[in-house]
Amino acid sequence: MRPDKVGIDAGGTLLKMVYEESSRFHYKTYSMDNLQSSMKWLKMTASGASFALTGGQSEFLKNDFFPNAITVSEFKANCEGAAFLMNQEGRTKENYLLINIGTGTSIYLIKAREYTRLLGSAIGGGTFLGLGKLLTGETDFSKLVSLARKGEAAAADLLVKDIYHPSKPPIDGSLTASNFGKVRINEKVSNEDKIASLTNMIAETIVLLSMQSASHHQIKDIVYIGNTLKNNKLLKNRLEHYTKMLGLNPFFIQNGEYSGAVGAFLSL
């Protein structure tokens, strides 16, 4: 059975697809560097289908491959796709922040089914890949995630308790005083430690930005999506830990990295 509708989220790094078959959603991801492979797959399996496109490369795809496709704003697609996926999990919420950690990070406010983009940050998956390469020479996302999982951020990060030692610190001693601040005095920092520290820095930055937005708009629930979270247990752990530390409620959606593609699909 060929799919008759396909939603595509074409970002700077990845192309994500969603289609429905036998009343079930199916998900596929391709690298934008391997675009011809994804187009070949679509030609074989979805010829004659209707397409909806979103993401930074959506106009390029429309012009070169899908002249009859509709385009959906990334903002609309992410918010509506995430809401749909949450509803599928029985997690319907009226008011929350949606944090999309892609190449960079975008923060959306959802209130009573209306959504507003609040702000963005250049810290995100692109930072993880770029600094990951500079720090270790590794370029593969999954291998960097594996390195982070085996490392100790505290080997590279200067903690509050390090500054106050041997005295008792006035605040939680496990908090980071300076990301990578211990590298200059610790010559035994491994590649695993470096990427664990990088992951921690990304999580701290995103949570602090989210907290400021949540406080201003009186929001307690924070929903995290984005491909940078895929199989990235350490990043999820750090986001959850810091979010709870600030008195907020973190949520992660199954297949949340496909929110944009799902939102595009729903527009057909």
Q: 104-128: per-residue pLDDT in tens?
A: 999 999 998 899 999 999 999 999 9
- Name the CATH superfamily housing domain 125-252: ATPase, nucleotide binding domain (3.30.420.40)
3-7, 31-35, 166-170, 238-242: least confident range: 31-35
Would you call 74 a catalytic residue per the annotation? yes
Statement: residue 1 has pLDDT above 80: no
Domain 5-75+259-266 CATH (choose: 3.40.50.720, 1.10.340.30, 3.30.420.40, 2.40.160.50): 3.30.420.40
Helix residue spans in 67-113 (DSSP H): 74-88
Q: Could you tell me which of 201, 218, 192, 199 has the C-alpha nearest to residue 94?
A: 218
pLDDT band for position 92 (50/70/90)? confident
Q: Residues 20, 21, 59, 74: which is the catalytic one? A: 74
pTM across the whole model: 0.93
How many whole angstroms separate alpha carbon 262 and alpha carbon 79? 10
Record the tokens describing residue 268, joined without a space: 């057909």
pLDDT digits (tens, 9 = 90+) for 174-197: 999 999 999 999 989 999 999 999
| Distance between CA atoms of residues 209 and 221, nearest Å | 14
Confidence of residue 62 (pLDDT cuts 50, 70, 90): very high
Rounded Cα distance between 134 and 179, Å, is: 16
Q: Please answer whether residues 150 and 123 qualify as being in contact, where contact means their C-beta atoms are separated by less than 8 angstroms.
A: no
